[in-house]
Structure 1
C-alpha cells in the first residue's frame, strides 16, 4: 500500500479534505459534482509531485486541453491563485510527501508607449510577460532522509508571437513510484502498450484468465499492428473492440494494475461501460490483482450496484480475507465549504446500501 492518509487543501472546489485510514482498495462515492474525481486528480498529482506536466494532463481527462494564462487559475480554490494548493500524503506511516502549487510571479517591465498616445487603451506597462505554476515538493522519511525541490511550468510568448510552454524539471530527483490514471474516457492505446510488455514477460495467461470471467470464449490474447486481438474459437483472431466496452474497460484496469506494481492506480467511474452482471467479476479481478502486486486502488462511482457487487464478493469465503483491505468513503460538502469524508468499512457496507447514503 502507498498512502494511508491524504490531506487536500485549496484544490478546485475543495477547500479542505482529510482522507484517513486509507486501505488497499478505496471506493469514493457521493452525489454528482461532490468532488470525487477532483480527489483522484489531487492524489494523482501528489504521486507525481515532481512532474509539472500533470497539471495539464489532469484537465485533459475532462477533454480540456487548453493551457493559457486564463487557465492557470482553474485548479485553485475559487479560481484564486492566492489560495495556494497544498496536498500531503502519509506513506505507510514512514514518509510524509508534500506538494505545494503556487503561481509563477511575473515581473512587469515599465515601458513607454510610442504608438497612438491618444488611444483609449493607453498603458505604460508591458503585460503578459510570462506566467505559470511552481510546484514545490518535499518528503521526509522516518530514517531522516529529506528532499526539498521544485519544478515549474511557465507560459511565454515567442519572438514570433506564439504561446510556448516552458518546463523546468528538478535536476536530481527521479520518481520511483509507479501510478496510472484511468479516466471515464480512458485512452485504450495505453492498454495496448502495457499489454505488449505483459506478453513479453509471459504473463498474458493471467490476463486471459481474468477476462474469461466476463467473456468465457476468450482463449488467448495478442497484439498485432498496435491492435489487441483475441481468439474466441473462430477461424481467425478478432479485434477486442468487437467484444464491447466492458471487456476493454476491464483489460485497461488489469493491465494498469500490472504496470504499477507496488504503486497506485486511479480509476474514475469504475463501472462506466460495464453491465451490472459483470461488476462482481471486475471486483474479483481488482482484489486479486491488487493483492498479488501490492497495488493501491482509488476508484469513484455513483452507482449503488457497484457497492452492492463489492459487498457480495467480500461475503464469499474466497474473498473474506480481503474485507479489512477495503474502505468506502462518502464525500459530502459542508456549509463551511469543506469536504468531509465519512468512512464505511466492509461491516457497514450493507447500511450504506440500505440507506443509499450520498451515492446517487
Structure 2
C-alpha cells in the first residue's frame, strides 16, 4: 500500500495461480486481474518460466509475436525453437549461423528480455511484476524492450510494475514519451524518522524536467 492511499494491491495464492486485485483508493475503483506473474533476478526460476511460456506461445502458433519483439533487440534473430534432451529443455535461436544457438550463448540480456516478453504475451488480464528490470540488459536496448513491453501489455490488458535503480532505464522512460499516459513513475523510499515506507508518484512533466536536468529521482 502506498502513501496517501493512491492505490492498494492484494496478491492471494489460489491453487497454482496468484489472484490479484488493485484498488484505486482515490476513486474507490477495483481493477481485478486474473493472475500475477513475478519475474525475479533468479536465472534458474526465470529460465523454467520462460520455457513454459515460450512452449505455450509456440503451441498457439504465436512464434511471429515472439520474433517481432526479439528482433527489435537483436535483428539477427530469425527463428526460435525448444529442444529437449531427456528431461532437459533449452531454448535455441537462429541468428544465421549453420546451427541454432542456445539462447545463453547470446548473453544474459536476450534471455532476460525473452522472459519479460514471453510472460507479457502469454498472460492476459494479469499483473506482471519485474524486479530490477535493468539486470543483464545492455543500456542500448533498454528503450526498445520497454516499448515492446508497453505495446504487448496494452494488447493483452496486462499491468506491469517494474523496479529499477538504473539511470539508463529512467532516461529511456523519459525518451519514450514524457506525456505517455501508459507510464507512471513512482519513487519508493522511507520516512527519515519512522522509516515508514513511502511512495510518491511523479507528475510526468516534473519527472521529465528532473531527468533532463540530471536531478536525482531514484
Which residue is equivalent to 1:202?
A: 61
User: Matched residue of 2:184: which SS?
Assistant: strand
Within 5 Å, which residues of 2 pair with 1:1-360? 7=1, 17=3, 20=6, 43=9, 46-50=10-14, 89-90=22-23, 93-95=28-30, 177-186=34-43, 187=45, 188-225=47-84, 226-314=89-177, 323-334=180-191, 335-353=193-211, 354-359=213-218
Evaluate the alpha carbon distance shift between residue 293 and residue 96 of structure 1 in structure 2; reply closer, same or farther with a 3 A threshold.
closer
Evaluate the alpha carbon distance shift between residue 260 and residue 96 of structure 1 in structure 2; reply closer, same or farther with a 3 A threshold.
closer
Q: Count residues in correspondence.
A: 207
Post-superposition shift, 1:93? Answer: 4.6
User: Matched residue of 1:191: which SS?
Assistant: helix
Evaluate the alpha carbon distance shift between residue 21 and residue 312 of structure 1 in structure 2; reply closer, same or farther with a 3 A threshold.
farther
CA-to-partner distance for each residue in 1:7-66, whole Å, 9 max, x for gaps?
Answer: 26xxxxxxxx456269xxxxxxxxxxxxxxxxxxxx5xx222556998xxxxxxxxxxxx
- Report the Cα distance in structure 2 between the residues aligned to 1:349 and 1:279, rounded to whole angstroms: 18
User: Matched residue of 1:47: which SS?
Assistant: strand
User: Matched residue of 1:235: which SS?
Assistant: coil
- Report the Cα distance in structure 1 between the residues aligned to 2:108 and 2:4, rounded to whole angstroms: 34
Evaluate the alpha carbon distance shift between residue 18 and residue 47 of structure 1 in structure 2; reply closer, same or farther with a 3 A threshold.
farther
CA-to-partner distance for each residue in 1:82-125, whole Å, 9 max, x for gaps?
Answer: xxxxxx8416954488xxxxxxxxxxxxxxxxxxxxxxxxxxxx
CA-to-partner distance for each residue in 1:114-142, whole Å, 9 max, x for gaps?
Answer: xxxxxxxxxxxxxxxxxxxxxxxxxxxxx
Greater helix share, structure number: 2
User: Matched residue of 1:357: which SS?
Assistant: coil
1:326 and 1:345 in contact (8 A); partners too: no
Evaluate the alpha carbon distance shift between residue 285 and residue 308 of structure 1 in structure 2; reply closer, same or farther with a 3 A threshold.
same
- Report the Cα distance in structure 1 between the residues aligned to 2:116 and 2:210, rounded to whole angstroms: 26
1:264 and 1:295 in contact (8 A); partners too: yes
Q: Cα RMSD (Å) of the superposition? A: 2.8
CA-to-partner distance for each residue in 1:213-234, whole Å, 9 max, x for gaps?
Answer: 1111100111111211111111
Q: How does the TM-score come out when normalised to structure 2?
A: 0.84
Gaps of 5+ in 1: 1-6, 9-16, 23-42, 55-87, 98-175
Highest relative contact order (Cα 8 Å, sep 6+), 1 or 2?
1
- Report the Cα distance in structure 2 between the residues aligned to 1:345 and 1:290, rounded to whole angstroms: 22
- Report the Cα distance in structure 1 between the residues aligned to 2:16 and 2:122, rounded to whole angstroms: 22
2:131 and 2:164 in contact (8 A); partners too: yes
Q: Which has the larger radius of gyration?
A: 1
Gaps of 5+ in 2: none
Evaluate the alpha carbon distance shift between residue 19 and residue 203 of structure 1 in structure 2; reply closer, same or farther with a 3 A threshold.
farther
Evaluate the alpha carbon distance shift between residue 300 and residue 248 of structure 1 in structure 2; reply closer, same or farther with a 3 A threshold.
same
Which residue is equivalent to 1:163?
A: none
Post-superposition shift, 1:236? Answer: 1.5
